[in-house]
Amino acid sequence: MTPARRAWSALALLVVVDLVMIPDFHRIAWVGGAWRGLPIDILEHGARLCLVAIGAALVVATGGVDLGIGTVMALSGALAARLSAEGHGFPVVASAAIGIGVAVGLVNAAMVVVGRMPPIVATLVPMVAGRGVAHLVAGGAILAVDAPWAVRLGSGTWLGMPIAVWVATGVIAVVALLLRRTAVGAGLAAVGSNPAACRIAGVPSGRLITLAYATSGTFAAIAGLLAAADVRSADAHNLGQFVELDAVVAVVIGGTAISGGVFSLGGALAGALFLQTLTVTLHAAGVRSDVAPLPKALLVLVAAVVSHPQFRIRRTRSAS
Amino acid sequence: MFECRDLVRRFGPTRALDGVSIAFEEGRIHGLIGANGSGKSTLLRIIVGAEVADTGTMSKDGAGWAPRSTADAARAGVSMVHQEVRLGPTSTVVDVMNLGRWPTTRFGFIDRAGATARTREALRRVGLTLDPDLTVGILPLAVRQRIAIARALDAPVLTGASRLLVLDEPTSSLGAREVADLFGLLRKLAEEGACVVFVGHALSEIEALCRTVAVLRDGRVAWRGEVSSGGRSVWVDAMLGRATTARATRVTQDFGNERRVAVEGIGSDTVPAKSLDVAAGECVGIAGLLGAGRTEWLRLVAGVDRSRTGSVAIDGRSVPCADVASALRAGVAYLPEDRRRDGLCIGLTVRDNLLLAVRSAEGWWRGRLAVEETLEALVRRAALPDGCLDRPVETLSGGNQQKVLLLRLLLANPKLLLLDEPHRGVDIGAADAIDGLIHARRETGLSVIRVDPDLEALCRVCDRIAVMVEGVFVDPSVPAEAEAVRRRLSGDVA
């Protein structure tokens, strides 16, 4: 079984447990022109994590890591809130927010490619500095976001499904299609697998790595917009906090090698949905939100170990 | 006196050492030479305690010698000086000199002042006066090497033990002046009673420095004796082996003055500039001993390393040597010698590995390429296992991996193919298949420059041989006969 399929199995198993344990889990109702219910909630709130996990998967494929995801979300949310408050329309707000994501991605790539910094160090810079900038942008306050676009993006529906789900699905579909129809995905994996061999084979490693970080930044910015719209406010301090870690966990559960070279977008998607379902499950099981991280961490550990490609090898070795 | 008797070391089915007996006396410098894979490094590692022989005995100062670790060996006066000091970039000279043996004060703390004084003294013995608090990383290579020697000599030794100093290719990255200085130091050490084992490639250095020489080939001592009783041609014969079996004679083609590829004065700061012409369909072999600089030069021609001087032209059109992708587009492809490190993306599928070079040439944003349709047929023709395209390349045997690497380059339709040891780690059957694939392309005009340590193999596939000695082509056009090449290699030209 491929690691990605194992991640989907883990997700399926969790859903089965939920169906048994949570009485209302299976109940999806058509209320006021839209579907409502716990699974829909998981999709709606998980859309952001799915987005950033896909971006993170591309970065991890090249052998890197993007720790700046959470702060890019905060930056994008704060910028959107401020521009919105200043009376700008959605096109300006969205392009500025996404622009900041691309910019941070390019800075990360410059540090990694040109500066030859280890990615975990390079992306610490936006991780730490980004929140400070977000505070500056927000003027030190929690800005309300109540423009019409935010209402529509945060609680609107289309064909009965939340807009956030459509946005994430659309964006991810475009990326998946591009990777499938071109050789870029193979290039990213090759760079992560053996940088020296890629140099000798003439692979434009720098450009591919830049693409990965820029995509990750873009997706984080879109996730930031969705998050701000969801709660109708932009809190520079809390928005997107620790999301980069969730993203890495989702990617690893999905069978992408943390050392690079092998990656699976589908797996990362399954990993992200697994995490989101777990959060909802624990909440429904009455676990207090301040202690929830502990059981969550334990389950994530199990999922990560089981879905990791090397687990199978170790097991067969110890058995022989 | 240091002696080993009948040392055998196996790695799986191969014997790295196959009964080596050798003796080193105090107060002398002993040369040790041999081609790649001759068992040199294994022998050295066993002597200094980094590895253990399967069978055989060693003795030192009249007693049995069986070190359990390199530290153990160092205490008994046996140490190896690597090509350079390999320690963290921030270590200082004092750190390096005292690693693992810091003097302590009576409270058990490290005695930095004492260590610094001792370091100064030890450095002075090898002719160095420098601040012990300098960072090692900023010092020139020759100085770092001297520090390594000082460290080896400074090791506290049990009383009565003689010193055995092993230097592994110490001159490979030194300039002529630095080499002369190093030799002076080694001679002084030998006069003081140390036993020095010098591993090198340049036969001129062995001749100038050593008292005795041992030549290893295929895990055995192929020749040993006093320098005066040998000579370069004797050693070259011993290293490469005389052709014992008569192979089917092959028709070499004489391309005369025709030339399609003109490599003009390609060189860099460390590689002397060299030129070479190749005709369409011609295969030119580069023969040279280990360390002659063949790989370094090939990498410059391929654009892998930045060339400082010179140019490459194919069909009169200049090839940009600045980066690999554009050299590849202009028709220059390079097969690296270390296929695991520099060649394959080991976890990726055979398909992705095959397409790596074409995609680099054609661009990664392009959709499905026309050549992808031909992969199945290509794989079948190269006798790779059925259905291997979507398997990770690491599941293939070494020979098949090498075929994948070669096919990757051939897919990019090169005009000039640079091969660096294409038979390395490849069984005979696959080696012949690889030569077959290359030969088929030569019929349609592919020019080849090939490096191979196996002189017989090189002469079998090449039309002529360019002989490289210590970084320069001493003769760019020797007929492809092992005997003639050997004579040029040993500088023994009639």
Other Cβ atoms within 10 Å of A288 Cβ, number: 8
Statement: residue B2 has pLDDT above 80: yes
**Nearest-CA distance A6 → chain B (Å):** 19
Interatomic CA distance for residues A158 and B267, integer angstroms: 65
Task: Find out whether B448 and B395 touch, Cβ atoms under 8 Å.
Answer: no
**Quick one: pLDDT at residue A317?**
40
**Quick one: pLDDT at residue B492?**
65
**Quick one: pLDDT at residue B416?**
96
| pLDDT band, very low/low/confident/very high, at B250 (cuts 50, 70, 90) | low
Residue with tokens 């670790």: B69
Statement: residue A266 has pLDDT above 50: yes
Interatomic CA distance for residues B235 and B230, integer angstroms: 7
**Quick one: pLDDT at residue A227?**
94
**Quick one: pLDDT at residue B76?**
85
Burial, A294: exposed, middle or buried (Cβ in 10 Å; 0-12, 13-18, 19+)?
exposed
Residues of chain A with C-beta less than 8 angstroms from the C-beta of B343: 197, 200
> What contacts B205, CB < 8 A, 6 or more positions away?
B171, B179, B183, B198
Q: Within the 83-122 window of chain B, which residues sit less than 8 Å (CB to CB) from chain A?
A: none
| pLDDT band, very low/low/confident/very high, at B218 (cuts 50, 70, 90) | confident
A193 shares contact with chain B (CB less than 8 Å): yes
Interatomic CA distance for residues A279 and A273, integer angstroms: 10
B332 shares contact with chain A (CB less than 8 Å): no
Mutant choice from A2, A184, A200 vs B, greatest count of B C-beta within 10 A: A200
CB contact under 8 Å between A182 and B364, yes or no, is yes
| Averaged pLDDT for residues B166-180 | 78
| pLDDT band, very low/low/confident/very high, at A307 (cuts 50, 70, 90) | low
Statement: residue B377 has pLDDT above 60: yes
Statement: residue A314 has pLDDT above 60: no
**Quick one: pLDDT at residue B244?**
42
Side chain identity, residue A307:
S
**Nearest-CA distance A123 → chain B (Å):** 23
B408 shares contact with chain A (CB less than 8 Å): yes
Residue B231, domain member (yes or no): yes
CB contact under 8 Å between B345 and A261, yes or no, is yes
Do residue B278 and residue B174 come from a single domain? no
Residue B255, domain member (yes or no): no
Residues of chain B with C-beta less than 8 angstroms from the C-beta of A196: 341-342
- CA distances for B406 relative to A33, A128, A311, B329, B396, angstroms: 61, 47, 33, 17, 14
| Averaged pLDDT for residues A241-264 | 88
**Nearest-CA distance A127 → chain B (Å):** 27
B348 shares contact with chain A (CB less than 8 Å): yes
Statement: residue B385 has pLDDT above 50: yes
CB contact under 8 Å between B360 and A257, yes or no, is no
**Quick one: pLDDT at residue B447?**
95
B322 shares contact with chain A (CB less than 8 Å): no
> Quick one: closest CA in A to B339, which residue?
A197
Statement: residue A98 has pLDDT above 90: yes
Statement: residue B241 has pLDDT above 50: yes
Residues of chain A with C-beta less than 8 angstroms from the C-beta of B328: 202
Mutant choice from B360, B368, B372, B419 vs A, greatest count of A C-beta within 10 A: B360
Mutant choice from A2, A62, A194 vs B, greatest count of B C-beta within 10 A: A194
B345 shares contact with chain A (CB less than 8 Å): yes
**Nearest-CA distance A169 → chain B (Å):** 23
> What contacts A10, CB < 8 A, 6 or more positions away?
A253, A270, A274, A303, A306, A307
- Nearest-by-Cβ selection for B345 from A181, A184, A194: A194
Do residue B356 and residue B319 come from a single domain? yes
Q: Which residue among B191, B208, B240 closes a domain?
A: B240
Statement: residue B429 has pLDDT above 80: no
Residues of chain B with C-beta less than 8 angstroms from the C-beta of A199: 304, 324
Closest CA relative to residue B449, chosen from B436, B440, B458? B458
Average pLDDT, rounded, for chain A? 89
- Nearest-by-Cβ selection for B345 from A182, A193, A202: A193
Q: Which of A261-275, B238-252, B256-270, B451-465 has the highest mean pLDDT?
A: A261-275
Residue of higher predicted confidence among B461 and B38: B461
Q: Which residue among B240, B274, B298 closes a domain?
A: B240
Do residue B33 and residue B170 come from a single domain? yes
B333 shares contact with chain A (CB less than 8 Å): no
A19 shares contact with chain B (CB less than 8 Å): no
Do residue B283 and residue B234 come from a single domain? no
Q: Which residue among B240, B275, B307 closes a domain?
A: B240
Helix (H, G, I), strand (E, B) or coil at B427: coil
Residue B425, domain member (yes or no): yes
CB contact under 8 Å between B360 and A186, yes or no, is no
Residue with tokens 């859903």: A15
- φ, ψ of residue A317 to 5 degrees: the values are -65, -45
Do residue B204 and residue B277 come from a single domain? no
Residue B248, domain member (yes or no): no
- Nearest-by-Cβ selection for A202 from B336, B341, B360: B360
CA B409-B412-B414 angle, 5° bins = 80
Residue B494, domain member (yes or no): no
| pLDDT band, very low/low/confident/very high, at B173 (cuts 50, 70, 90) | low
Residue B316, domain member (yes or no): yes
A208 shares contact with chain B (CB less than 8 Å): yes
- Nearest-by-Cβ selection for A193 from B348, B360, B367: B348
Q: What is the pLDDT of residues A21-61, one digit of tens each?
A: 888 888 888 888 888 888 898 999 999 999 999 999 999 99
**Nearest-CA distance A199 → chain B (Å):** 7
Do residue B276 and residue B229 come from a single domain? no
A313 shares contact with chain B (CB less than 8 Å): no
B364 shares contact with chain A (CB less than 8 Å): yes
Statement: residue B237 has pLDDT above 60: yes
Statement: residue B42 has pLDDT above 80: yes
Task: Find out whether B42 and B50 touch, Cβ atoms under 8 Å.
Answer: no
Statement: residue A121 has pLDDT above 50: yes
> Quick one: closest CA in B to A192, which residue?
B345
Do residue B429 and residue B353 come from a single domain? yes
Task: Find out whether A250 and A225 touch, Cβ atoms under 8 Å.
Answer: no
> Quick one: closest CA in A to B324, which residue?
A202
> Quick one: closest CA in A to B361, which residue?
A202
**Quick one: pLDDT at residue B248?**
44
**Quick one: pLDDT at residue B85?**
62
Interatomic CA distance for residues B186 and B192, integer angstroms: 10
B347 shares contact with chain A (CB less than 8 Å): yes
Do residue B75 and residue B33 come from a single domain? yes
| pLDDT band, very low/low/confident/very high, at B251 (cuts 50, 70, 90) | low
Residue B215, domain member (yes or no): yes
CB contact under 8 Å between A197 and B345, yes or no, is yes
**Nearest-CA distance A210 → chain B (Å):** 14
Do residue B19 and residue B130 come from a single domain? yes
Residue with tokens 């006021």: A32
> Quick one: closest CA in A to B412, which residue?
A201
Task: Find out whether B1 and B26 touch, Cβ atoms under 8 Å.
Answer: yes
Q: What is the pLDDT of residues A157-198, one digit of tens each?
A: 898 899 999 999 999 999 999 998 899 999 999 999 999 999
Do residue B225 and residue B298 come from a single domain? no
- Nearest-by-Cβ selection for A181 from B356, B367, B408: B367
> Quick one: closest CA in A to B302, which residue?
A200
Residue with tokens 């095959």: B354
* Token code pair at residue A305: 């170990």
The residues that bridge with B74 in the sheet, in sequence order, are none
Interatomic CA distance for residues A43 and B160, integer angstroms: 78
Residue B277, domain member (yes or no): yes
Interatomic CA distance for residues B173 and B374, integer angstroms: 45
Q: What is the pLDDT of residues B388-400, one digit of tens each?
A: 899 888 888 788 8
**Nearest-CA distance B181 → chain A (Å):** 35
Where in the sequence is the domain holding B34, given as residue range(s)? 2-240
Interatomic CA distance for residues B336 and B369, integer angstroms: 25
- CA distances for A275 relative to A243, A247, A283, B251, angstroms: 11, 9, 12, 68
Q: What is the pLDDT of residues B69-122, one digit of tens each?
A: 888 888 888 988 876 666 666 788 888 888 878 888 888 888 888 899 989 988
Interface size A-B, in CB pairs within 8 Å, comes to 82
A258 shares contact with chain B (CB less than 8 Å): no
Task: Find out whether B359 and A183 touch, Cβ atoms under 8 Å.
Answer: yes
Residues of chain A with C-beta less than 8 angstroms from the C-beta of B324: 199-202
Burial, A1: exposed, middle or buried (Cβ in 10 Å; 0-12, 13-18, 19+)?
exposed
Residue of higher predicted confidence among A241 and B367: A241
Number of structural domains (chain B) is 2
Do residue B146 and residue B52 come from a single domain? yes
Do residue B452 and residue B391 come from a single domain? yes
CB contact under 8 Å between B346 and A189, yes or no, is no
* Token code pair at residue B125: 């013995």
Statement: residue B247 has pLDDT above 60: no
Statement: residue A318 has pLDDT above 60: no
B356 shares contact with chain A (CB less than 8 Å): yes
Residues of chain A with C-beta less than 8 angstroms from the C-beta of B408: 201
Average pLDDT, rounded, for chain B? 86
Give the rounded percent of residues in chain B with a pLDDT score beyond 90: 33
Q: What is the pLDDT of residues B296-347, one digit of tens each?
A: 999 999 988 887 788 999 998 998 867 888 899 999 999 998 888 899 998 8
- CATH at B403: 3.40.50.300
Domains in chain A and their CATH numbers? 3-11+43-319 (1.10.3470)
Side chain identity, residue A231:
V
| Averaged pLDDT for residues B222-248 | 75
